[in-house]
Chain A
Amino acid sequence: MSEYIGPYQTGQTIGVVEKKFFTFAGREDRLKLESGADIGPVILAYETCGTLNSDKSNAVIVLHALSGDSHVAGYYDPKDAKPGWWDIMVGPGKGIDTDKYFVICSNIIGSCSGSTGPMSVSPETGREYGTHFPVITIGDMVEAQKALMDHLGIETLLSVIGGSVGGMQVLEWCARFPDRVRSAVPLATTSRHSALAIAFNEVARQAIMADPNWNEGHYYSGKKPDMGLAIARMIGHITYLSDESMRLKFGRKLQNRSALSFEFGAEFQVESYLQYQGKKFIERFDANSFLYITKAADYFDLARQYGSGSLVKAFSRCKAKFLVVSYTSDWLYPTYQSKEMVKAMKKNDLDVSFCEIDAQWGHDAFLLPNERLDHLMAGFLKGVSDEIE
């Protein structure tokens, strides 16, 4: 039985928020990347909600997933049709309560929603980077976020919170900057991709690269590889759902017809849904960013990076108090992968809580309204801030 509660909602919206930009890594001080390359200048788009307290001890950074952006909560304009991507969690009286915490969310480097990425113009050539953009890693994303924290004058984060690829950044923060993270909430994530997860990403990338419009990544002055990107998104969406959620949501229901039409249009509802998701995605996302970010996720391997292959050794660097959350029907990052992390944390005597939330909605569950996650988040954050006082 699922604990998922349909229109569950608490708190209020934060209201109008502003998209801000931070530019760093100028000519003298370029950002060094894990690949050995460097890049500059770097722009990060970011959003803040709530107020930073006088001793700067209430800052929480929220890290977005593959296709997210800095717009975490509220509205840019009161007339906007939709709020930020995690408005259900971030706001006054919500799981991450902006009356108590100062929430920061920045668009990751390599993405396409205001931060420097492959569709940015290279200062050297005066043209879009395209595939001349250097390969970036989860570590590089976190390094850029750290520069933003320095800019905001925040030495220690009360918490780093994120799901999926955002959860990988959470783990990276804890290992890379252990003294700057008081607590961490990795949700529906993994310390490294399974072959299954890499396989789906690779098929998605191949769909983009097989699109004739892709043109080795240099398409910004012509037609874009829309078909490839749409198919990549459709593949992604399958991995975010589950057998049960697809059965409940679509079953074998037909779209706008009562009988089979014996042709190759989108007849089944699930086909129509995937096509709609693909179409919606190409309006807001850059195909090259999709290639770069999925590659970064595939490369991520906390044990290799920080523990010579041992996850226990990797976590021995970490100091944060953890809340690890997985979902029963998430087969992209299954519970056993979260449990592996928890096990390694325990062996290092780290303070860790773990909950596997019963939900039928697959990997997507972490973005859906869930009373249990709200309670876990609010209680955990309160516990961490109580310990400071």
Chain B
Amino acid sequence: MKLSDLRYDLSLIASWIEEGSRVLELGCGEGDLLYWLKKEKAVKERGIEIEESKVEKCIEKGISVLQGDINEEIEDYPDNSFDYAICSQTLQQVFEPMSLIHSMMRVAKMGVVSFPNFGHYKVRMQLAFTGRAPVTKELPYSWHDTPNIRVLSLTDFEKFAEEVGYKILKRVSINTKNNQRQGKLITVLPNLLATYGIFLIGKE
């Protein structure tokens, strides 16, 4: 399998993961990333996913996944059981993101976090010019039915990591197209121009 078989943001995360490492993915969906990492980088994979039908797809692929709530399930793992804990495009839906990130950094040496950027210029313009809660491709819900209860910008996350004492080891800002299948890196004014941010964080 090629790196390009993965969704664009997942391919960037996959490129960061060391061969043969231990990986926990929170909210692993149908397990595309873990499956790729197991096959191509021989990682020891574990996933947590709440939806039964997606858990079935994961186990069908032969990867190890638990059905359950990420906030609860992460608690049972001993300290430093993993090299990486990945939370891809889920952080903005978590009720207590700070406690989740602390748990990730307890069970793993490093954390990978990705989320849609609420600082993107289209978001800013919608609020400024229509006076309404922004609805975008990346955050496509209305204020009353959105699962995205903790929207944040790239700058917000950087400040947050600094405040709680985690070190940002790597970061990329991206723009995606074709249902996120493809995309490109954004290096100029990322907090204004990127639709997603991906961060690798470590302990100080």
Chain A residues in the interface with B (C-beta under 8 A): 3, 321, 323, 339, 342-343, 346-347, 349, 351-358, 372, 375-376, 378-380, 382-384, 386
Determine if A378 and B65 form an interchain contact, defined as CB atoms under 8 angstroms apart. no
Contact digits for B32-59, partner A, Cβ 8 Å, 1 yes 0 no: 0000000000000010000010011011
Determine if B62 and A352 form an interchain contact, defined as CB atoms under 8 angstroms apart. no
Query: How far, in angstroms, from A347 to B76 measured CA to CA in the complex?
Result: 6
The answer to whether residues A380 and B62 also contact, given A355-B52, A372-B56 and a CB cut-off of 8 A, is yes
The answer to whether residues A357 and B64 also contact, given A346-B77, A347-B78, A376-B59 and a CB cut-off of 8 A, is no
Query: How far, in angstroms, from A185 to B46 measured CA to CA in the complex?
Result: 17
Determine if B52 and A380 form an interchain contact, defined as CB atoms under 8 angstroms apart. no
Determine if B62 and A355 form an interchain contact, defined as CB atoms under 8 angstroms apart. no
Nearest chain-B residue to A377 (Cβ)? Answer: B59
A-B contact pairs, 18 of them (CB 8 A): A339-B68, A342-B66, A346-B73, A346-B76, A347-B77, A347-B78, A349-B78, A351-B64, A353-B55, A353-B58, A353-B59, A354-B66, A355-B52, A355-B56, A357-B52, A379-B59, A379-B61, A383-B59
Min CB distance A15 to B, Å, is 27
The answer to whether residues A321 and B64 also contact, given A355-B59, A379-B59 and a CB cut-off of 8 A, is yes
Task: Tell me if B96 counts as interface (CB < 8 A to partner A).
Answer: no
Min CB distance B143 to A, Å, is 28
The answer to whether residues A352 and B59 also contact, given A343-B76, A347-B78, A358-B52 and a CB cut-off of 8 A, is no
Nearest chain-A residue to B46 (Cβ)? Answer: A351
Query: How far, in angstroms, from A323 to B66 measured CA to CA in the complex?
Result: 9
- Tally A-B pairs: CB < 8 A: 61
Query: How far, in angstroms, from A42 to B76 measured CA to CA in the complex?
Result: 43
Task: Tell me if B67 counts as interface (CB < 8 A to partner A).
Answer: yes
Query: How far, in angstroms, from A3 to B51 measured CA to CA in the complex?
Result: 13
Query: How far, in angstroms, from A376 to B65 measured CA to CA in the complex?
Result: 11
B59-89 interface with A by 8 A CB criterion:
59-68, 73, 76-78, 81
The answer to whether residues A379 and B76 also contact, given A353-B65, A355-B55, A356-B52 and a CB cut-off of 8 A, is no
B108-162 interface with A by 8 A CB criterion:
none
Nearest chain-B residue to A346 (Cβ)? Answer: B76
Min CB distance A343 to B, Å, is 5
Determine if B66 and A376 form an interchain contact, defined as CB atoms under 8 angstroms apart. no
Min CB distance A355 to B, Å, is 5
Question: Taking each of A3, A352, A357, A379, which has the highest tally of chain B beta carbons within 10 Å of its own beta carbon?
Answer: A379
Chain B residues with CB under 8 Å of A354's CB are 55, 65-68
Chain B residues with CB under 8 Å of A384's CB are 62
Nearest chain-B residue to A324 (Cβ)? Answer: B66
The answer to whether residues A386 and B77 also contact, given A354-B68, A372-B56 and a CB cut-off of 8 A, is no
Chain A residues with CB under 8 Å of B81's CB are 349
